[in-house]
């Protein structure tokens, strides 16, 4: 198993460690619910060193990236960040990634489970005047997430960061290490993702923990990372999206820019858009008692299987079981009744609209 | 562990037998491994269970775990408190977090169980 620069820190904190796609990662420290609520109410710190980072540079980088992804990288100003997807010719999703526009090209952040696959896929589609380098092994990523993130990160880096917009980044230094400060996250809360060389990770972690102490900061494991993202309906690659699902089916059409020019899968996706999708990824809450889990069957009124649960958990914020899954369009409208098969019982659930809980913007 | 008569399974259930009634729950080690228990799927009173058969399900935020019956018999009582307060399994695994009582079937035996000392040694190896 691969370790991160912070593995020994997690062990000393008594974290429960698991194998996550070949990385030894903390799944929880004190408990998923407590950690989840700490991020919603205050601030938490995450080791995300397992994530992959690539640099894409050279004169041909922009055109190549535009061809590879669904969103429009040309629309991205320097210092801007874009959520986008790599798609196959059949419209299936190779990965969902973040694209950063730097002074010299692009910085891509990919899912840990897809590092090798994405590197091979992108390399295969590059012209000679674009160069892809894999920086994953030497790049650490520490996230600070929650309503109290800003004062914590400002204190650690001795910078004023309140002016930074969501989905923007700046480069700075932290104790002699270059650090990329990104106002992004996977929790729906305000927060930062901090990229730096491995050598600076432990010191950064400790400084964040000290600066966050007055706010009740706590380390957060992958367990709460999953419940936090699911409450916000952020898709998880491998659960909610994969090579057999398209961005349109997954409700990610706003990240597909048909008018930017050609890209891999455009024809298929355009045809799917014009004809209308036959199934959609929906969120649902349980009406009957039971917790939906990935892989459970979704059945209709007649008891026929119409889909599968892609993600499911008890929502710590709502104290209610929630889930997502693909259903035929006729069952995808908010309020529609579906059933989840749990241990042989057909339990009622209801399709909801949008996120399970409001984002900070929506609740203003 | 409050009760000296308590015996343990390799699947981390505990059992206390009084007369022909076996009260069953999961151990402190099991609840700790599982994390925050958020849902308990209880059996129905009157259900018959076989030794080694899953008769209840305990779920944490992340995981689903079967509870296996240490003995064959009939469910005669379930801890309904767990429906509204599943966290009792974390807070009080050996007492308020009990799961069900099983009337031991005639001729059925509690095989292969460990006493407290043996169980402590068993989880150290795990």
Q: How far apart are CA A114 and CA A122, in angstroms?
A: 12
Helix (H) or strand (E) holding B119: helix B116-125
Q: How would you class B76 by CB atoms within 10 Å of its CB: exposed for 0-12, middle for 13-18, buried for 19 or more? A: middle
CA distance to partner chain B, nearest, from residue A84 (Å): 28
* A291 contacts B59? CB cut-off 8 A: yes
**A227 chain-B contacts, CB cut-off 8 A:** 61
**A16 chain-B contacts, CB cut-off 8 A:** 35
List, for residues A146-167, the tens digit of each pLDDT value.
Answer: 999 999 999 999 999 999 999 9
pLDDT band for position A56 (50/70/90)?
A: very high
For A343, which of B38, B41, B83 is closest by C-beta distance?
B41
User: What are the structure tokens assigned to A225, written together?
Assistant: 């990372």
Q: What value does the mean pLDDT take over residues A260-281?
A: 98
Domain hosting A77: range is 53-136
Q: What value does the mean pLDDT take over residues A56-64?
A: 98
List, for residues A241-251, the tens digit of each pLDDT value.
Answer: 999 999 999 99
Does residue A362 lie within any of the structural domains? no
pLDDT at A305: 98
Q: Give this complex's ipTM.
A: 0.88
pLDDT band for position A364 (50/70/90)?
A: low
* B62 contacts A289? CB cut-off 8 A: no
pLDDT at B3: 72
**B35 chain-A contacts, CB cut-off 8 A:** 16, 28, 31-32, 223
Q: What value does the mean pLDDT take over residues A21-31?
A: 95
Distance of CA A43 to the CA centre of its chain: 18
* A293 contacts B41? CB cut-off 8 A: no
Q: Report CA dihedral (A12, A17, A20, A23) to the nearest 10 degrees.
A: 40
List, for residues A179-192, the tens digit of each pLDDT value.
Answer: 999 999 999 999 99
* B38 contacts A289? CB cut-off 8 A: no
pLDDT at A358: 83
Does residue A357 lie within any of the structural domains? no
The count of structural domains within chain A is 1
* B59 contacts A343? CB cut-off 8 A: no
Q: How far apart are CA A250 and CA A233, in angstroms?
A: 11
Percent of chain A, pLDDT > 70? 98
Does residue A79 lie within any of the structural domains? yes
* B61 contacts A314? CB cut-off 8 A: yes
- What CATH number did the domain enclosing A66 receive? 3.30.70.1400
Does residue A240 lie within any of the structural domains? no
Residue pLDDT tens, chain B, 126 long: 557 789 999 999 999 999 999 999 999 999 999 999 999 999 999 999 999 999 999 999 989 999 999 999 999 999 999 999 999 999 999 999 999 999 999 988 887 899 999 999 999 987
Q: What value does the mean pLDDT take over residues A244-259?
A: 98
Q: Count other C-beta atoms under 10 Å from residue A168's C-beta.
A: 17
pLDDT at B126: 73
The secondary structure of chain A, three-state, reads CECCCCHHHHHHCCCEEEEECCEEEEEECCCHHHHHHHHHHCCEEEECCCCEEEEEECCCHHHHHHHHECCCHHHCCCCEEEEEEEECCCCCEEEEEEEEECCCEEEEEECHHHHHHHHHHHHHCCCCCCEEEECHHHEEEEEEECCCHHHHHHHHHCCCCCCCCCCEEEEEEECCEEEEEECCCCCCCCEEEEEEEHHHHHHHHHHHHHHHHHHCCEECCHHHHHHHHHHCCCCCECCCECCCCCCCCCCCHHHCCHHHCCCCCHHHHHHHHHHCCCEEEEEEEECCCCCCCCCCEEECCCCCEEEEEEEEEEECCCCEEEEEEEEEHHHCCCCCEEEEEECCEEEEEEEECCCCCCCCCCCC
pLDDT band for position A137 (50/70/90)?
A: very high
The backbone torsions φ and ψ at residue A187, rounded to the nearest 5 degrees and listed phi first, read -130, -15
List, for residues A282-308, the tens digit of each pLDDT value.
Answer: 999 999 999 999 999 999 999 999 999
pLDDT band for position A212 (50/70/90)?
A: very high
* Radius of gyration for the alpha carbons in chain B, expressed in angstroms and rounded: 13
Q: Between A and B, how many CB-CB pairs are < 8 A?
A: 38
**B61 chain-A contacts, CB cut-off 8 A:** 32-33, 223, 227, 313-314, 316
Does residue A72 lie within any of the structural domains? yes
For A291, which of B35, B39, B83 is closest by C-beta distance?
B39
Provide the residue count of chain A: 364
Binding-site residues on chain B for chain A (CB distance < 8 A): 35-36, 38-39, 41, 57, 59-62, 64, 83
Q: How far apart are CA B89 and CA B101, in angstroms?
A: 15
pLDDT at B108: 83
pLDDT band for position A117 (50/70/90)?
A: very high
Q: Are A89 and A268 in contact (CB under 8 A)?
A: yes
Does residue A97 lie within any of the structural domains? yes
User: What are the structure tokens assigned to A280, written together?
Assistant: 């959609």
β-bridge partners, A44: A145, A218
What average pLDDT is seen over chain A? 97
pLDDT band for position A361 (50/70/90)?
A: low
pLDDT at A360: 65
Taking CA–CA distances from A17, the nearest residue in chain B reads B33
Sequence-distant (≥ 6) Cβ neighbours of residue A238 within 8 angstroms: A111, A113
pLDDT score of A363 more than 80? no
Q: Are A86 and A95 in contact (CB under 8 A)?
A: yes
pLDDT at A299: 98
pLDDT at A177: 98
Q: How far apart are CA B5 and CA B92, in angstroms?
A: 17
Question: Max Cα separation, chain B?
Answer: 39
Which domains occur in chain B, in start order?
7-106 (2.40.50.100)
Does residue A103 lie within any of the structural domains? yes
* B62 contacts A226? CB cut-off 8 A: yes
Pairing of strands A305-315, A345-352: unpaired
Q: Model pTM?
A: 0.94
List, for residues A75-114, the tens digit of each pLDDT value.
Answer: 999 999 999 999 999 999 999 999 999 999 999 999 999 9
List, for residues B87-102, the tens digit of each pLDDT value.
Answer: 999 999 999 999 999 9
């Amino acid at each position: 198993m691969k370790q991160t620069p912070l593995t020994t820190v997690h062990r000393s904190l008594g974290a429960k460690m698991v194998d996550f796609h070949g990385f030894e990662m903390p799944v929880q420290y004190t408990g998923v619910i407590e950690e989840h609520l700490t991020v919603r109410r205050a601030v938490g710190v995450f080791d995300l060193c397992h994530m992959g980072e690539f640099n894409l540079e050279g004169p041909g980088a922009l055109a190549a990236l535009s061809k590879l992804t669904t969103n429009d990288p040309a629309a991205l100003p320097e210092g801007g960040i874009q959520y986008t997807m790599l798609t196959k010719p059949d419209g299936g999703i190779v990965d969902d990634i973040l694209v950063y526009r730097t002074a010299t090209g692009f910085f891509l952040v990919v899912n840990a489970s897809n590092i090798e696959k994405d590197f091979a896929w992108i390399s295969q589609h590059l012209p000679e005047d674009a160069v892809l380098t894999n920086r994953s092994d030497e790049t650490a990523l520490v996230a600070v997430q929650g309503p109290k993130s800003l004062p914590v990160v400002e204190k650690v880096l001795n910078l004023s960061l309140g002016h930074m917009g969501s989905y923007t980044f700046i480069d700075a230094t932290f104790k002699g290490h270059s650090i990329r400060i990104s106002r992004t996250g996977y929790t729906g809360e305000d927060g930062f993702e901090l990229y730096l060389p491995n050598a600076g990770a432990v010191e950064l972690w400790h400084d964040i923990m000290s600066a966050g102490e007055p706010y009740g900061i706590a380390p957060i494991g992958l367990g709460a990372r999953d419940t936090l993202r699911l409450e916000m309906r952020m898709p998880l690659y491998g659960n909610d999206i994969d090579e057999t699902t398209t961005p349109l089916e997954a409700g990610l059409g706003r990240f597909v820019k048909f008018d930017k020019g050609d890209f891999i899968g455009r024809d298929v996706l355009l045809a799917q858009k014009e004809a209308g999708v036959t199934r959609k990824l929906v969120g649902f809450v349980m009406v009957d008692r039971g917790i939906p889990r990935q892989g459970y069957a979704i059945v209709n009124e007649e008891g026929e299987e119409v889909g599968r649960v892609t993600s499911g958990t008890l929502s710590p914020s709502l104290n209610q079981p929630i889930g997502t899954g693909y259903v035929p369009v006729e069952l995808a409208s908010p309020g529609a009744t579906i059933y989840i098969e749990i241990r042989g019982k057909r339990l009622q659930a209801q399709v909801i609209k949008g996120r399970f809980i409001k984002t900070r913007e929506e609740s203003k | 562990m409050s009760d000296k008569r308590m015996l343990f399974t390799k699947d981390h259930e505990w059992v206390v037998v009084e007369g022909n009634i076996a009260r069953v729950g999961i151990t402190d080690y099991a609840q700790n491994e599982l994390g925050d228990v958020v849902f308990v799927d209880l059996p129905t009173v009157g259900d018959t269970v076989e030794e080694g058969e899953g008769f209840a399900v305990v779920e944490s935020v992340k995981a689903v775990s079967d509870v296996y019956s240490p003995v064959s018999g009939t469910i005669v009582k379930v801890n309904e408190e767990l429906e509204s307060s599943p966290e009792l399994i974390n807070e009080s695994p050996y007492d308020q977090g009990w799961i069900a009582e099983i009337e031991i079937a005639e001729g059925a035996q509690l095989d292969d169980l460990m006493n407290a000392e043996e169980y402590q040694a068993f989880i150290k190896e795990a």
